[in-house]
Amino acid sequence: MKIKDIEVGKLFLAPMAGVSDIGFRKVCKSYGADLTYVEMINCNALLHNNEHTKKLLETADNEDIKVVQIFGHDPELMAQAVKSPLLEKFDIIDINFGCPAQKIVKNGDGSALLKNLELLGKICKSCTSATNKPVTAKIRIGFNKNDNVAVDVAKICEANGISAITVHGRTREQMYSGSVDYDTIKKVKQSVKIPVIGNGDVVDEKSLNKMLETGVDGVMIGRGALGRPWIFSELKNKKGVIDKFEAIKNHVDTLRKYYTDEELCVTLRKHFLWYVRDVSGASKFRLKLATTENLDESLNLLKQIFEEDKKQ
Ligand SMILES: Cc1cc2nc3c(=O)[nH]c(=O)nc-3n(C[C@H](O)[C@H](O)[C@H](O)COP(=O)(O)O)c2cc1C
């Protein structure tokens, strides 16, 4: 598939705030993710040059195509953000029209824009006019259950210069539950010429094929990659032994360049628990893993868990 003039493969890692950090993205890339995104960044933060944002914008050396996602509701500020020197190194800029979180929606950002399509169109126009780079959009199919606007939104995005659209096949109201609306994703694909990326509940070959049956050009995987960054090589049928502890070590070592062990000990806990979720002998270590205050101790525990698992 081509996003404007950039050739990309089919399997993307979803942007996930607080989760798809530089270390996780690097590991997913090493296992074959074709595109990885820096998580959503507030357009206002880009205009204020803050240090936390700068760290979030770091990219891994194997991220050959760099994508950042931004959010906001003011077309002028969004255009300024697109032109920010902080985004200079990025190849693709994605706009978030899907975030369901209350704190985002109450500001009129993310999925709230699915209720104001005129403004959504203006944001697309101002962002695409501010750069020659491809600007893409990520949407949900609507805000409320009975308010499916996906095809309208896709057409508006295309008419305003957006180069590709990702559709998470749920409404805002559904949050992360209920089933994915494959029919709507299929209709979106049939209504626009720009590439369409299908998203929602892809966790294995069966669910990947179900998504591909809609005719989408690419597939984005979020929660299915948590604790399983190797899902990309599995779905691409790449042979080879996966050293799970080595993957975790790479994840951690990459982050250690940017964050202290104290910071990482807390922020990485959720990842560590995801990594051992399917390891049968891990239960006796879980509490310790969830509470330890020392990163090296966490790594030693993980090493032990995976060594024991290998013996079984
Ligand atoms: C913890 C978490 C954080 C997320 N953060 C973002 C985000 O920053 N931007 C975004 O567009 N979507 C975000 N999402 C939504 C995912 O990108 C994706 O659309 C959603 O999880 C559905 O895909 P899945 O079923 O493969 O997980 C987030 C999801 C999760 C679980």
Question: Is residue 118 a contact partner of residue 149, using CB atoms and an 8 Å limit?
Answer: no
Residues facing residue 168 across a β-bridge? 140, 199
Instruction: Clarify whether 99 is annotated catalytic.
Output: yes
pLDDT, position 149? 98
Say how many C-beta atoms besides its own lie within 10 A of residue 79's C-beta: 20
Which CATH class, in words, describes the domain spanning 244-311? mainly alpha
Answer for the pair 34, 9: CB distance below 8 angstroms, yes or no: yes
Closest-CA residue, ligand 1 atom 10, reads 15
For residue 19, the ligand 1 atom closest to its alpha carbon is 1
Which residue has the CA at smallest separation from atom 6 of ligand 1? 16
The whole-number pLDDT of residue 281 equals: 85
Place of tokens 């032109």: 83
Instruction: Tell me the pLDDT tens digit for each residue of 245-287.
Output: 999 999 999 999 999 999 999 999 999 999 999 998 888 889 9
| pTM score of the predicted model | 0.98
> How many C-beta atoms lie closer than 10 Å to residue 263's C-beta?
13
Of the candidates 90, 67, 91, 75, which has an alpha carbon nearest to the alpha carbon of residue 43? 75
Task: Calculate ∠ Cα 244-249-252, nearest 5°.
Answer: 130
What does the pLDDT read at residue 117? 98
Domain ranges for the chain, please list them.
2-235, 244-311
Determine the Cα angle at 129 with ends 123 and 130, to 5°.
Answer: 90
Cα 284 to ligand 1 centre (Å)? 30
Question: What Rg value do the Cα atoms of the chain yield, rounded?
Answer: 19
Q: How far is CA 87 from CA 3, 45, 66, 83, 154, in A?
A: 18, 12, 10, 7, 25
Q: Which two structure tokens, joined as six digits, stand for 311?
A: 């013996």
pLDDT attached to residue 13: 98
For residue 170, give the H/E element and its range: strand 165-171
Catalytic residue among 99, 124, 127, 157: 99
Q: Encode pLDDT of 49-84 as tens digits.
A: 889 999 999 999 999 999 999 999 999 999 999 999
Helix, strand, coil in percent for the chain, rounding step 5: 45, 15, 35
CATH topology of domain 2-235: TIM Barrel (3.20.20)
Atom of ligand 1 nearest to the CA of 202: 26
Q: Could you tell me if the CB of 15 is within 6 A of ligand 1?
A: yes
Specify the ligand 1 atom closest to the Cα of 180. Answer: 25
pLDDT at 170: 98
Spell out, as residue ranges, where the chain has pLDDT lower than 70: none
